[in-house]
Chain A
Amino acid sequence: MDDRPHKAHRPAQSGAKAGKKDKAKGKERQQGFNAKAFAPKSGRRADRQGRRAVERDQTRLHVPLVNRTPDENPPPVIIAIAGPPGVGKTTLLKSLVRRFTKQTLNDPKGPITVVSGKKRRLTFIECNNDLNSMIDIGKVADLVLLMIDGSFGFEMETFEFLNILQSHGFPKVIGILSHLDLIKKAATLKATKKALKKRFWTEIYQGAKLFYLSGVINGRYPDTEILNLTRFISVMKFRPLIFRNSHPYILADRLEDLTPRELVRTSKGKCDRTVTVYGYVRGTNLRLGTKVHIPGVGDLDMTSVQKLGDPCPLPDEASEKRRKLSEKKKLLIHAPMSDVGGVIYDKDAVWINVPGSFSRGNEEVPQGEGEQMVMDLQDVATTLEDAVSKSQIRLFGSSSNPLAVAAQSLPGEDTDDEQEEEDSDDESGFEDDEDLHSAEEDEEGFDFDHLPPGAENTGRRSHRVVQRTLPSSSRQSRADIEYAESDSDLGDNDDDLPSTSNRRVRFAGEDDDDIEIPSDDDALDDEEGEDEDVPQWKKNLAERAQSLASSSRKGKRKDWIKLIYASDLTPAEVLHGKAEGDKEEDVDDFFTIKHKSDVGEVEALDKGKEPIDDVELEKWQDEELLESIRGLFITGEDSGAAGGDNDGEWDGVGDGDGQGSGSEGEGEGDEDGGLPAEQTTKDAKTLQAKKERLKRKFDEQYDDPESRKDDFYDSAKDEIARQLALNHAEFEGVESEARALVEGFCPGAYVRIELSNVPCELVEHFDPHYPIIVGGLLAAEERFGYVQVRVKRHRWFTRPLKTNDPLVFSLGWRRFQTVPIYSLDDHSIRMRMLKYTPEHMHCYATFYGPVSLPNTGFCTFNSLLGDTPGFRVSATGVVLDVDRSVKIVKKLKLTGVPYKIFKNTAFIKDMFTSALEIAKFEGANIKTVSGIRGQVKKALPKPDGAFRATFEDKILKSDLVFLRAWYSIEPRKFYNPVTSLLLSIKTSWTGMRLTGQVRRDEGLKTPLNVNSTYKKVERSARKFNPLRVPQKLQASLPYASKPKLMTKQRSQTYLQKRAVVMEPEEREAVALLQQMRALRKDKVVKRKEKKEGKKEERRKKLERDDARREEKDKDKKKDVMRMVGMKHKREQETEEGRGSRKRRKP
């Protein structure tokens, strides 16, 4: 016992203890990287190390991609939780939501958005086991939490899901092993983990993250494990995926049906619906005018898009400050499909979900402040209008007359009443509107406008319908609230006249900077005025444009945006102003158009260049004018009037950065317009600046000549960053509504999309467990055509794919069934049809369907049904080409037989049926089976379809003649979108069936073509005539080549015929030999018998042994089965005890 060696002491290498020991010994531990320790020992090694470092550095680099998702206020990250049923997806979702919001959900449905940090929000969505859902979620998820049952291992769905992800641009995947508590033995657990990890890594990449969840406590996973997981999630970085970075998309977290109830009732619910979906814009900017595709529904038109207040905003400084103590624990969650949170925002309404039974007048139930207020509002007997008209307001204490209310409502009044529709124009800042404004930036800066809606979640005061107002008009009315004017005047009708006059005044006198701001504002206001469909602005728009145009000739500036986009003036009128005669016709649009259309349009040509105006050119005879433009040339001096470019003469040097410095030059140009008195100081300043610039350039080049030449990676990244900054800056000051028109809704905005003509089944069979994705389509993707793809059958799919068999594609946003034709490139000459996909090889496939951009990945399925045995992903591939026609051919062999043979010419029949056909094939190449090549010459008059052909040699009568032709085929124009979301049972979508399947279902027999039956091939033995060499030739042949004419001896020869008479001693000898032979034979027979007996014995023995062993095995099996049965029974008992955990039978 004592002599057993003890385990050696292993001193701590890290941590507090290690440091203590060192300090005690009096030596200081080195902190951080010890460069000396890794110094190379030899030059060679240094070289190798250096190269390795550089190589490793290069592996870090990726192709620079533009990330369209903005850095501030990005959309929530979509985290999908996927896995086979019963693996614990819902439990994980509940645990994660609980971790972030401290709320426990009972039945999480649909996307759930939570705030996870200062800069990040997360949208969780559970992916059910339907293949359609897996496809859709695979296309939008940024991160997939792939759950794997540790006690069972990988399942087919997991691999299918991974393949779907792979073909649509692999998002990040974190594996999560659950049910590890079911493995009791520690060794087994370790081995299982290792095995699963290995498999997982081969599937994703070496080192992919895999989490282990041990067990369930209180219906949730252990808090520490979830905490670790969330830490991982919240720091995860995402690389933009190309498809998502070029398409806008929305994961709808809410769906409302806006169809008038009456219409639904009269059509018995069968009419097309108008539906709104809500969600965060992701990907790129969402723009109106494009189509969207909802996978499982189809292509739809967006009627309108509105930006709504963020229901789950990121915390900012203001909101953090205002957060009350009571709210501290209430963290934000937005999950409209799961009915949490209680408050739902809409464009025109706010819905409060009151838990429990709530009825008016029920006094026992304690009512909150919000509910009380709503009920108070409902109690109001008179409308606000009446109330205001009755009220008496004195503006000043001394004024005798109370302020009277005109027939029309005052701008200063706003009502909470639901019938009020027109009040959209005038909004005077009632506090109730605050929620509507929260998302918009308001320069006026009313306090409440900055309240995020989240802060108001608790105390909702009203339940009402309020029209969303346009901030521009509201600001306008706020700015000039003048009681004397009526409401209609206060719209943007009049904003132009006073402001233009204002401007004119200012132009005369004051400094220049002031002008820019109002003019710019007006431009924007006017543009907004246009989107809001107020008929009034149209009335005298032309007049105003006219006045503007005419004034511009006096040096006034035109508002180009408005003139171009918002007026119905013809281009000529925009440019040259309207002719005086047209002016009175402003009253009616109809006539003006008619009149304009025939004004001088007849002779106007669509010209590439305008005719030179000779009168205009006259002025160039003036020397002074000629001199005045000298500043526009590089030789001209840098005059202030020329403006713009200060570093003109240095552009020869810095040609490259000419564009980059453009904006700076412009900025400087603005300052240039100063007074001539300042000229000298300014010149000095420019000189100074120029010197500075040169010095900087010199320093840069002198100090570090290397830094000048950036590598490709850095310069590309810089370029991207610069462009993004420019994008951001260009529309910075623009009002959000106008901005949405120009650049669309940027990612991160919470929008409401109104879709028209939506199939009613979507609404009727809506199930929140199935994701609704609104994918924006590019212009090209709305079209149809023949799509050529490169495809490879999946190696786990058991059967080859057959041409003209329907196949379900998941391509782009779409899922659809179509009929592909497979082909291979035949020597780059032709695309040759293949009946079946080749084994282990790519081939081409061409199908008719919606166009996708080249380089888009896809995967295909033969069936989407859940009960399909085996692996369902049948092939994967990539789009190569899109066209309106295809050039696939298949081989067609025509056969004929010669019926008359001349020397090299033969008459061939049975290949064609008429002379016309032959005329088409004149000159075509033909070939016999034996390989003699020839050509079709001309049709013969007599037997129909016979022709003359020539060959390179004489052919035989027995030869078959082939004509190899290529017959072009087109894929069938079949496109069948997978409308799974429209079904009541979403998993039961079946598309077009195979012919065999239809026959089987209908109980039909396969039609039998008599010619297609297999018959026994009768081949009579060929008789060849003997070779006859002419006598003369034979004579001249050498002996070796001469035919050997001797035949086989048939009669017996003497040797066989002679009789043998033996001598006595000879006879004895022969007899002796015979006896010996007989003895030996006997011996052999005996030996054989003996051996047989022994063999028999051994066989019997073996039989006995086998029987015994079998019995033993049977007993053993019985034992095992009994054990298994008992274990199963135990399990079931524990399960019933534990509750609702469903285990699928493996």
Chain B
Amino acid sequence: MSSSLLTFSGHQFLRQRLVLSILSGKHVKIDRIRPEDKNPGLREYEISLLRLLERVTNGTVIEISVTGTALLLRPGVISGGLVVHDCPPSRSIGYFLEPIIMLAPFSKKPLNLTLTGITTDEDDLSVDLLRTVTLPHLQPFGISDGLELRIKKRGAPPGGGGEVQFLCPIVKQVKTLNFVDPGKIKRIRGISHAVRVNPQFSNRMIEAARSILNRYIPDIYLYSDVYKGEESGKSPGYALSLLAESTTGAIHCAEAISQAGVAPEDIGLRATRALLSEINRGGCVDRRHQTLVLLMMVLGSEDVGRCRMSEPTEKTIQFLRDVRSFFGTSFKVVPVDSSNPECTQLLYSCYGTGYINANRTLA
């Protein structure tokens, strides 16, 4: 008896499909991975991700075709435990950690994962945001005790050399989310870090950010986080990540990374403006964490979960479609405020699948 096989094509949305496959136990076949590219097939970092997934699971079979343009995943059980993985320098740690965060609560043993590589880059969420924004997003689902991301070393691109440790507890079942009140922003926090550059850079970013934000609320703390010596990785770099938390616990975030030839003040302003536009977009969930929250809603108990969010991103749209093919769950997506045409926020509601962590060991 084989579980049903799902077929996808294209290299896009690879991570979410792998995650959904492992969670649902459905086999997945992904073909036409960059067939017409100069360098066809899976990239180095994708192979590395597959390795990582193989390591955190037990009994997973991954078959990659000779050309590397097709992939068959037969998922095993998520085992967790102590895992160490080196991320290639082509992608940052965020790329690898995002799918792991989705899987880790459902493993057999609490996960203790050490990842080394680039901690902050342009493409993926930096470890700061993962720590301060992504992990709090799991809290309403009952995943909080022992959930931790320790940044041991920082590593800026291209050299990398950072190291983080991710600790995640296991749950039996995630709680149902009912989060429709975005509240009002009550505090703003931020981390500005600088490695292998003048430590003043981080203070300059903070000042620039404060020049805009100070007008709104007094509760603003922007930490200057300068790593030195061994802990600062192999390359120079600096960045500012900001987050705004509302009275009901909704978090919005933004960050900007150092660029060659751009003053730190401009980076600070950029991050701040991005945060403001993020706040302006509204909703209870940050845009980059829509998929995470939606996934946990699908995996909730057999009750109606509701969440208010801004308009879906491309990733989210495809995610909703993929969720339907893996779990058979479709969402009801309606405008929050039908009387106000200006309001672009949407109310996502779904009926949870009642997913129970079958990997969990009893006694």
Contact = CB atoms under 8 A, between A and B. Distances in A.
A561 B333 contact: yes
Contacts of B312: 560, 564, 575
B320 A565 contact: yes
A391 interface: no
A880 B335 contact: no
A126 to B, nearest CB: 32
B58 A885 contact: yes
A882 to B, nearest CB: 6
Interface string A554-593: 0111001101110000111011000000000000000000
A634 B244 CA distance: 12
Contact of B360 (A555, A658, A854): A854
A672 to B, nearest CB: 8
Contacts of A727: 303-304, 351
Contacts of B280: 629, 632
A85 interface: no
B248 A659 contact: yes
A513 interface: yes
B181 A666 contact: yes
Contacts of B339: 512-513, 515-516, 670, 673
Given A565-B330, A783-B25, A557 B337 contact: no
Most A C-beta atoms less than 10 A away, residue of B26, B32, B302, B335: B302
Nearest to A728: B304
A358 interface: no
Contacts of B303: 66, 723-724, 726-727
A602 B277 contact: no
A744 B301 CA distance: 14
B53 interface: no
A474 interface: no
Interface stretch (B197-205, B210-218, B228-236): B210-218
A727 to B, nearest CB: 5
A800 interface: no
A299 interface: yes
Interface in A725-747: 726-727, 730-731, 734, 741-744
Main SS of chain B's interface residues?
loop
Most B C-beta atoms less than 10 A away, residue of A779, A855, A882: A779
B340 A643 contact: yes
B124 A884 contact: no
A630 B216 contact: yes
Interface in A1000-1031: none
B317 A783 contact: no
B351 A742 contact: yes
Given A606-B14, A626-B212, A662 B77 contact: no
Interface in A849-889: 851-855, 878-885
A626 B214 CA distance: 12
A289 interface: yes
Nearest to B122: A611
Contacts of A565: 320-321, 324, 330
Nearest to B318: A571
A643 B256 CA distance: 30
Nearest to B212: A626
B339 to A, nearest CB: 4
Interface string A610-635: 11101011001000001001101111
Interface string A782-799: 111100001000000000
B238 interface: no
Contacts of A285: 302, 351
A561 B94 CA distance: 30
Interface in B135-190: 176, 178-186
Contacts of B334: 520, 523, 560-561
A605 B333 contact: no
B24 interface: yes
B65 interface: no
A557 B330 contact: no
Contacts of B333: 560-561, 564
B50 interface: no
B359 interface: yes
Contact of B276 (A246, A574, A629, A855): A629
B3 interface: yes
B217 A880 contact: no
Interface residues of B, number: 106
A851 B76 CA distance: 12
A666 B180 contact: yes
Contacts of B207: none
Interface string B66-108: 0000000000110100000000000000110010000000001
Contacts of B208: none
Nearest to B284: A662
A240 to B, nearest CB: 12
A1045 to B, nearest CB: 68
Interface in B329-351: 329-343, 346, 349-351
Interface string A690-730: 00000000000000000000000000000000011011001
B155 to A, nearest CB: 16
Contact of B361 (A515, A648, A652, A854): A854
A662 B361 contact: no
Given A285-B302, A616-B277, A662 B320 contact: no
B114 interface: no
A992 to B, nearest CB: 18
A662 B181 contact: yes
B182 A885 contact: no
A609 B356 contact: no
B363 to A, nearest CB: 6
B361 A519 contact: no
A605 B320 contact: no
A1104 to B, nearest CB: 70
A629 B279 CA distance: 8
A778 interface: yes
A7 to B, nearest CB: 63
Interface of A: 66, 68, 246, 284-285, 287-290, 299, 507, 512-513, 515-516, 519-520, 523, 555-557, 560-561, 563-565, 570-572, 574-575, 597-598, 601-602, 604-612, 614, 616-617, 620, 626, 629-630, 632-636, 643-645, 648, 651-652, 655, 658-659, 661-663, 665-666, 669-670, 673, 723-724, 726-727, 730-731, 734, 741-744, 778-785, 790, 851-855, 878-885
* The 8 nearest A-B residue pairs measured at CB: A884-B59, A289-B328, A662-B181, A608-B124, A780-B358, A571-B314, A571-B317, A560-B333
12 contacts: A299-B1, A520-B338, A565-B330, A571-B313, A575-B311, A607-B124, A614-B270, A616-B277, A632-B185, A634-B186, A659-B248, A782-B25
Interface of B: 1, 3, 9-15, 24-26, 32, 34, 36-37, 58-59, 76-77, 79, 94-95, 98, 108, 122-125, 176, 178-186, 212, 215-218, 247-248, 254-256, 270, 273-274, 276-277, 279-280, 282, 287-288, 301-304, 306, 311-318, 320-321, 324, 327-343, 346, 349-351, 353-356, 358-363
Given A606-B14, A651-B248, 14 more contacts: A284-B302, A284-B354, A575-B313, A602-B36, A626-B212, A632-B279, A634-B185, A651-B186, A659-B181, A726-B178, A726-B306, A727-B304, A852-B358, A883-B79
